[in-house]
A and B are shown apart, each in its own frame.
Chain A
Amino acid sequence: MSKIKFTLNNKEVEIEESPTARLLDILRENFGLTGVKEGCGEGECGACAVLINDKVINSCIVPLGTVEGKNIVTIEGFSKTKKHQILRNSFEEEGAVQCGFCTPGMIIASESLLNKNPHPSDEEIKIGLSGNLCRCTGYNMIVKAVKSASKKGDGLW
């Protein structure tokens, strides 16, 4: 066990846990942030995606010890932003949500992509979201939604 401090959704937090605990479990069980989903548990599906220092990562394979001093944003924290509102509206308008299990991860990966590349092409969106699986097969709508968000949110990213 060791004390680990980090910023979680804009709040300083400190917990005492094993440094090899999965960040995913800590977020869900210790902090109740259940928007972070467990899909495959091995970094292949992106359902557990969160932002660490503004970059998308898979929280199911992040050992807690590595997040010391880092800034973590989950879908719950991101949902309070203007950028989220635009992404959310675009996902709704394009029909990019079916069962919704992959959606938090898709939104987080979209945010990470748009941070680096505010006006991505379809191909760049597909690459940006390539680590996220949707088993309702809604990829075309998701790509359209990200494209639409990048236009509507022009200047935000």
Chain B
Amino acid sequence: MKNITAKTLLEALNLLNDGNYKVLAGGTDLMVQNRAWSNTLPKFKEDILLISNLKELKYINQEDGYIHIGSLMTLEELKHHELTPKLLVEALEIMASPAIRNMATIGGNIGNASPAGDSLPVLYVLNALVILQSIKSVREIPIEEFILGPGKKELHKDEMIIEIKIPINNFSNFSFKKVGGRKADAISKVSFAGAVKIKNNLIQDFRISFGAVGPTVVRKNDIENKIIGTSVADLKSNIQDILNQYGEFVRPIDDQRSNKDYRKKVAINLLEEFILNL
């Protein structure tokens, strides 16, 4: 095995271009997924490229109407930064534990592509873009096109996630909720993100997403578009219809963390509560 700690972004991209590496940032998912017995090396199937020390990817700034977040920003660093979108801060506050948040990176949470990744419903709702770089090119992909399924993503073998780009937006109401077995460190049974813009009682923007209820985060632009332009009163009086519409796309599974009936019920209840509180 050829496990390497990259010292610069250029070195990392050259290595990815020349070999087959699994990129490891904070390691809080990969070290657990590949753990072996005590005092033995984790059982990685591929060569590992450690990138957590690349200073080039540790930044957050605001430019051209976007917040730009370097992929190696840790969850704890983002949680405390004034430029981090408030809805994302809500999710970061209840993700993992302080010790995990000090290591885990935002790029890693996206790259792990878990249906239960807690930053994902928020990033879907915020229309986040993922920036991928190789030695030859840079690509910019909307998050819902980047994540293809559990652990599957639109990432070439010579590419690395270098940035997350989020359009700046002022929502009047927003909320992130997760349901798990323990407050800290739990992997979500269900998660929910909602962001709405209301002006003069009219809904100008309406965005909803659910995590852990399908192979990828669920967000339905067609349902949202029908709601935009209506009044808050109309939305509330049609609530049953809207819950039914979302119900068709909320199709969770049974697994060791929860079961599909519970997940579906809770997901729809979270949406109902969010709408009733508008």
* Residues on A facing B (Cβ under 8 Å): 2, 4, 18-22, 25, 28-29, 38, 41-44, 46, 49, 52, 55-58, 60-63, 65-66, 68-69, 109, 112-113, 127-128, 130-132
Contact = CB atoms under 8 A, between A and B. Distances in A.
Contacts of B39: 25, 28-29
B265 interface: no
Interface string B1-30: 101110000000000000000001011100
Contact of A63 (B50, B96, B100, B185): B50
Contacts of A2: 3-5
Interface of A is mostly: mixed
A44 B31 CA distance: 13
Contacts of A112: 98-99
Contact of A65 (B5, B96, B98): B5
B183 interface: yes
A56 B99 contact: yes
A41 B42 CA distance: 11
Contacts of A69: 53
Interface residues of B, number: 32
Interface in B28-69: 28, 31-32, 35, 38-42, 44, 48, 50, 52-53
Contacts of A44: 185
A19 B102 CA distance: 19
B102 A66 contact: no
A131 B96 contact: yes
B48 A19 contact: yes
Contacts, number: 105
30 contacts: A2-B5, A18-B3, A20-B44, A41-B38, A42-B35, A43-B100, A43-B185, A44-B185, A46-B99, A56-B99, A56-B102, A57-B102, A58-B99, A61-B35, A61-B103, A62-B27, A63-B48, A65-B3, A65-B4, A65-B5, A65-B50, A66-B5, A66-B27, A66-B50, A66-B52, A66-B53, A68-B5, A68-B53, A127-B184, A130-B183
7 nearest A-B residue pairs (beta carbon) = A131-B97, A130-B184, A65-B5, A61-B31, A65-B50, A66-B52, A42-B32
Central interface residue in B27, B98, B99, B100, by most chain A CB within 10 Å: B99
Given A20-B50, A57-B102, A62-B103, 13 more contacts: A4-B5, A43-B31, A43-B99, A44-B185, A56-B102, A63-B48, A63-B50, A65-B5, A66-B5, A66-B26, A66-B27, A109-B99, A112-B98
A60 B50 CA distance: 16
A22 B5 contact: no
A132 B99 CA distance: 9
A20 B98 CA distance: 22
Contact of A109 (B1, B52, B98): B98
